[in-house]
Amino acid sequence: MSELKIVNYPHPALRMKCQPVANIDKDLRLTAGRMLELMHGREGLGLAAPQVALDQRMIVCSFPGAEGTLDLDLVAVNPVIVECKGKLKDREGCLSFPQLYQDILRYKSVKVQYYDLDGKLNEMVSTDLAARLWQHEIDHLNGVLFIDKMGPLARFGSRHDLAKFIKEFDDGVASGKIPAGTEPKL
């Protein structure tokens, strides 16, 4: 699992619609653990499987705890948003777009169903930052990126950053640091 790494835009894995997880086994648990390490190593709040070039409907999240308590790390397998309420525009970033932040309109509250690593179905209602986190990571599982949610002005304001990501990716492929025809792994 140590070969997992976070891929940056425009890596093709970021645009795939991931396959549902059929079996929760030792390999999936190891993958989830490595994803949590990668997420924490980059001081992120969430990471979806396609961000490490995996074709699986799994995300890891770290929900901030109440003041004075530890954060809650969570692994969600096959997560689905089943209810949404309200709207809220707020600043958002992504580990696959280092240093790029824009205001994105999202639902203020969501109800999510997911399986944990024991195969138990869970349901969670979240608001504000936690709701934004769920939506952002579940979007990744469907090949939707936060840049797709930007308004025209935000997109225009981000054009130089996006061009830089594309150039870095192309240079990485040309130099052999990023394999040509990079394919997601099952």
CB 55 within 8 A of CB 18: yes
* Backbone CA torsion sign across 14, 16, 21, 26: negative
For residue 55, which phi and psi values (nearest 5 degrees)?
A: -95, 65
For residue 38, give both structure tokens: 């990668």
Which residue is catalytic, options 37, 123, 137, 168?
137
DSSP string, 98-165: TT-EEEEEE-SEEEEEEE-TTS-EEEEEEEHHHHHHHHHHHHHHTT--GGGG--HHHHHHTHHHHHHH
Count Cβ atoms below 10 Å from residue 19 Cβ, excluding itself: 15
Query: Does the active-site annotation cover 183?
Result: no
Q: Report the catalytic residues.
A: 137
